[in-house]
Amino acid sequence: MKRIILIGMAICAVWGLKAQSAGSISGLDKAHFDKYWKVESESPDYEVSFSGDTCEILSPKGLTLWRKEKMCGNVVIEYDACVVDEGKPGDRLSDLNCFWMASDPQAKNIWQRMDWRKGEFLKCYSLQLYYLGYGGNYNSTTRFRRYDGNQAGVTDAAQRPGILKEYTDKEHLLVPNKWYHVKLVNKGDRVQYYIDGKRLVDYCDPNPLREGWFGFRTTLSRTRIANFRYVCREDKDTACLHWVGEVPSQACGVSFGVPFRKGEVQPDMPLLLQDADGKVIASDSWTAAYWPDGSVKWAGMAAVVPGGTTSLQVVPKRKSPESPELSALTVEETPSGWKVSTGVITAYVPRSGSCVIDSLLYGKTKVGGAADLIASVQDKPLGEGLSESHVTHFSSRLQRVSVERAGKVRATLKLEGVHQSAGREWLPFVLRLYFYAGSEQVRMVHSFVFDGEQDKDFIRSIGVRFRVPMREALYNRHVAFACAEGGVWSEPVQPLVGRRVLTLGDDKTLQQQQMEGKRIPAYEQFDEKNRDLLDHWAAWDNFRLSQLTDNAFSIRKRAEADRPWIGTFTGTRSDGFVFAGDVSGGIGVGLQDFWQAYPASLEVRQARSDEASLIVWLWSPEAEAMDLRHYDSVAHDLNASYEDVQEGMSTPYGIARTHTLTLVPKAAYPGKKGIADIACLLAKASPLLCTPEYLHACRAFGIWSLPDRSNPARSRVEDRLDAYISFYQKAIEQHKWYGFWNYGDFMHAYDPVRHEWRYDVGGFAWDNTELASNMWLWYNFLRTGRYDIWKMAEAMTRHTAEVDVYHIGPNAGLGSRHNVSHWGCGAKEARISQAAWNRFYYYLTTDERSGDLMAEVKDADQKLYTLDPMRLAEPRSKFPSSAPARLRIGPDWLAYAGNWMTEWERTRDRKYLDKIVTGMNSIASLPNGLFTGNKALGFYPDTGVITYEGDPTLKNTNHLMTIMGGFELMNEMQGMIDVPAFNQAWLEHARDFKLYNHFRVSRLQAYAAWHLYDPKRAAEAWTDLWGRLEHTPAPPMTVRKILPPEVPAPLDECMPISTNDAALWSLDAIYMQEVIPQ
């Protein structure tokens, strides 16, 4: 018979009772016990006794002490417990156990069938719960399990859940009469168990138990429990923001994306941007993507953040807040176009004509005249013994101008057009202008597409030209260039220096004042002697900073257009900023990634006239003309050089390039420090983004891990991840992976004999996204928030999305496989152009250009009617199909499905959802799921149906299916679209892949281990990750220094290394650190 006894206070001192913490009521005292606790015991002869808030349980058989309240959401449970072994009857050192988040799938609560369970341990297999047995089996094991509620496990051992974590060493077993502090944490899908502050379990549950009851479990022992408390919190996190890089010292116009969990924020719910003090900063917000239930998946926001603001957060509100005071941002349509005013500057944008801006005012002063886009092309390359070439000049012609967004804080205008000359229009462009309330800056995103003939059209120059009114005397006009490391070259158009010193009365400091940007008095105020000096001192008309390589620039000037340039300065890497104007106003322009995307120039012309021209040359006219021909006139064979060149397919027709410029009107020349400050701010371009912790909590972009060095095994993984990033950062610099068409991409494979990447060997040269190198960088950035990785990922995204992809023409919507020429390979595939690569940059920054690129490929599957990706590898003559098109499930269908998912979540157009679901059901119904048949399956682009008409017993495995972005995409897609039959087929593919294919894809093993709760498979996945490369055993990663004269300059060499290995290993590890951490 049970007994409940009140023990005297003398025992309390022996037990070391701790004071009850504030907060939840423990209820482990006699007065409150029955209200908060319920005993389920296998034997009626148990005893429960009390001393203050300490409860002692003597259990002759199995016993569960249940807490009566049901817990839900993010739960933290803490208590103190002790297993007593004093040699008394019933004492046994074993089983300091607990259940949590327990529920009964066959009942509405755990009490309904308690009389059937009767505290019997085996019958607990009928429950869903987490179970940690500390010192079980006579203090020989400590084990963690997740019970799945399968009642068959009560009688059938084969149906019982496996052990997910086990310890058998002395350090993780019980010590008699020792008080332990136990802490259980359930947050989202993370389950953790701590004892005395040490984490024993850190488990990510693919199907987390989000509600249930807590039970203290023991058997055949005497245990004590005290100081019980728990906290339940709603499963949501505050959207905290941080600056990636340095905190801007000046007010900054920013745009950024914020993810939310499903159902958390509705489209009409206001979002507030607050600083650390709770002050609301004016912002715009809009829905960038939707969850299937219509709630906000991603919101876009724009704001002008005061300089020096460090901590920010986004807070959803149920009702509209009072609008904070704003600077006036207005967008007004006029008969000729649009007038946009930020409250500081006013821009007039035409709706047609050759100009992209008509004029620009700072306050009421006109500081900018007409701005246009310019280019020139020659019909032959030079320097090859060819006859003289002919040069044609082009300027912009607008075809369409629209207000894309007009909020209270940010307005965006989209300008579309072409470059034209007499008799020809080509080089279509898109130019976006971004205006922010109260800001003097205008952000410009410039994209153009090459639609010429590679053998006839050699672009000699392409740029953006701004006219700048010059109202003041020549000596009050200034030109300035940002140099390297904060340096500034700045000179007046007419320097006040010569044989004699210019004076005005007794003032002999006029030259110093001039260099400081101060106004020099009018010509009329000088006497005849000094006017004579002003009449004869030279004035300079043209100025140019030329960055023709990644590590050298020159600054020159000349007096007249038909006179020679004279040298003034040479340097290394300019920050890419130029100013032209006078003491009454002017314009500065910064070009992002200026030296990285050489050859570029900054030029000021006609500085002595009433209107100067400031030109930002994206491709400098001083450089060799752009030659986009394939690197050789013959193909070098797939077997010999890994090169898949096909007749007529090595074409640049339809590739593109995007640049970001910032226009900075000024009320006056700002001086050298002002130039340096602006140039630094623009060159660093620190974005404001959500913190890694918040992005991770929302599972933005699927499943990935935060850095974790909590034990040596996890630290080893982090070390390798960091080592790969560090090595490639050095490779970019040491091997000079820079240039207009190259910057952002990596090389594919390394040649250790030459100590050089295989830049000249067919398919081993530029990587072109091969094994998801984009995602490798992006997931590294997401988890760390590091600025240096941000720059790598941003550059790669800009490159691969523009240069490696066709935007118009017969290959539009597809991209080119890796080659010496980015567009050289004959394999034109959807995996290279897929929206998956652009989702990161678009949703994190709201970059509309990336949005355009994702929309471009929403119907890329229609190309399958005319271009079969397996036309050579599996021709229809050998693999017949009655379907109108063919594809592989991976990477083809997975890439298309990602395109459709992106379009569906952005627009809610169910046509694209239906195509995904149709495809999933088709795959699930195939004879062998994802293993079915040969690689090329039948496909109906109009409906999304996938078919197979071959031998139903034929199986294949395609390792490319999941290592070219498909795996990561599916992790996110399965959180939005639930097709159980497909999910099972996907799981079976992950489970059985290794049986048929020896290519290492550890993330597939990890997926199967995670979803099947299989720790042995998880351990095998880690063993493979460390022990195998793609196909071969993996030696340790070692880096050595190679020195001249063996190489032109010192470099780091890693053996072995390939971008495939780095991306494959890193994406595997980042996923595995989350779902099956060691």
- The predicted model gives 961-971 an average pLDDT of 95
Judgement on whether residues 481 and 555 belong to the same structural domain of the protein: yes
Whether the per-residue pLDDT at 322 is higher than 80: the answer is no
pLDDT tens digits, one per residue of 587-645? 999 999 999 999 999 999 999 999 999 999 999 999 999 999 999 999 999 899 999 89
Judgement on whether residues 558 and 513 belong to the same structural domain of the protein: no
In a domain, 379, yes or no: yes
Neighbours of 520 (CB within 10 A): 22
- Say which CATH number the domain at 39 has: 2.60.120.560
In a domain, 798, yes or no: no
Confidence label for 9 from pLDDT (cuts 50, 70 and 90): very low
963-998 residues labelled b (16+ CB within 10 A) or e (exposed)? bbbbbbbbbbbbebbebeebbebbbebbbbbbeebe
pLDDT tens digits, one per residue of 544-562? 999 999 999 999 999 999 9
Whether the per-residue pLDDT at 784 is higher than 80: the answer is yes
Whether the per-residue pLDDT at 767 is higher than 60: the answer is yes
Q: Encoding tokens for residue 730?
A: 């050095």
Amino acid 319: pLDDT: 67
Amino acid 4: pLDDT: 46
In a domain, 1031, yes or no: no
Judgement on whether residues 600 and 478 belong to the same structural domain of the protein: yes
Cα–Cα distance measured from residue 292 to residue 902, given in angstroms and rounded to the nearest whole number: 12
Write the CB contacts of 787 (distance below 8 Å, at least 6 apart in sequence): 244, 245, 686
In a domain, 586, yes or no: yes
Confidence label for 3 from pLDDT (cuts 50, 70 and 90): very low
How far CA 711 is from CA of 171, 634, 1069, 1076, in Å, comes to 15, 54, 15, 14
Nearest CA to 220 among 85, 49, 55, 98?
A: 85
In a domain, 88, yes or no: yes
pLDDT tens digits, one per residue of 23-81? 379 999 999 999 999 999 999 999 999 999 899 999 999 999 999 999 999 999 999 99
**Into how many domains does the chain fold?**
4
Judgement on whether residues 159 and 103 belong to the same structural domain of the protein: yes
pLDDT tens digits, one per residue of 793-850? 999 999 999 999 999 999 999 999 999 999 999 999 999 999 999 999 999 999 999 9
Amino acid 318: pLDDT: 76
* Domain range enclosing 369: 355-397+417-495+540-628+654-669
% of the chain beyond a pLDDT of 90: 91
Judgement on whether residues 565 and 432 belong to the same structural domain of the protein: yes
Nearest CA to 314 among 257, 238, 253, 255?
A: 238
Mean pLDDT over the full length of the chain: 94
Amino acid 5: pLDDT: 43
Judgement on whether residues 146 and 193 belong to the same structural domain of the protein: yes
pLDDT tens digits, one per residue of 214-247? 999 999 999 999 999 999 987 777 899 999 999 9
Amino acid 979: pLDDT: 97
Characterize the bridge pairing of strands 179-187 and 74-84: antiparallel
- The predicted model gives 311-337 an average pLDDT of 81
Judgement on whether residues 170 and 27 belong to the same structural domain of the protein: yes
Cα–Cα distance measured from residue 144 to residue 255, given in angstroms and rounded to the nearest whole number: 45
pLDDT tens digits, one per residue of 465-498? 999 999 999 999 999 999 999 999 999 999 999 9
Amino acid 385: pLDDT: 64
Characterize the bridge pairing of strands 296-305 and 221-233: unpaired
Cα–Cα distance measured from residue 175 to residue 142, given in angstroms and rounded to the nearest whole number: 13
- The predicted model gives 351-368 an average pLDDT of 97
Judgement on whether residues 523 and 581 belong to the same structural domain of the protein: no
Confidence label for 1033 from pLDDT (cuts 50, 70 and 90): confident
Of 669, 702, 727, the one marking the end of a domain is 669
pLDDT tens digits, one per residue of 1012-1031? 999 999 999 999 999 977 76
In a domain, 839, yes or no: no
Judgement on whether residues 545 and 531 belong to the same structural domain of the protein: no
Cα–Cα distance measured from residue 902 to residue 896, given in angstroms and rounded to the nearest whole number: 10
In a domain, 306, yes or no: no
% of the chain beyond a pLDDT of 70: 96
Of 233, 257, 282, the one marking the end of a domain is 233
Which pTM was predicted? 0.94
Whether the per-residue pLDDT at 321 is higher than 60: the answer is no
Q: Report the SS3 class of residue 658.
A: strand
Cα–Cα distance measured from residue 401 to residue 158, given in angstroms and rounded to the nearest whole number: 68
Amino acid 23: pLDDT: 37
Of 233, 255, 285, the one marking the end of a domain is 233
Cα–Cα distance measured from residue 343 to residue 431, given in angstroms and rounded to the nearest whole number: 23
Whether the per-residue pLDDT at 148 is higher than 80: the answer is yes
Q: Encoding tokens for residue 481?
A: 């260039």
Amino acid 844: pLDDT: 98
Confidence label for 1060 from pLDDT (cuts 50, 70 and 90): very high
Nearest CA to 700 among 796, 840, 904, 901?
A: 840
Judgement on whether residues 570 and 436 belong to the same structural domain of the protein: yes
Judgement on whether residues 555 and 511 belong to the same structural domain of the protein: no
Judgement on whether residues 475 and 520 belong to the same structural domain of the protein: no
In a domain, 10, yes or no: yes
Amino acid 782: pLDDT: 98
Cα–Cα distance measured from residue 76 to residue 67, given in angstroms and rounded to the nearest whole number: 14
How far CA 399 is from CA of 419, 429, 464, 477, 1076, in Å, comes to 11, 10, 17, 36, 54
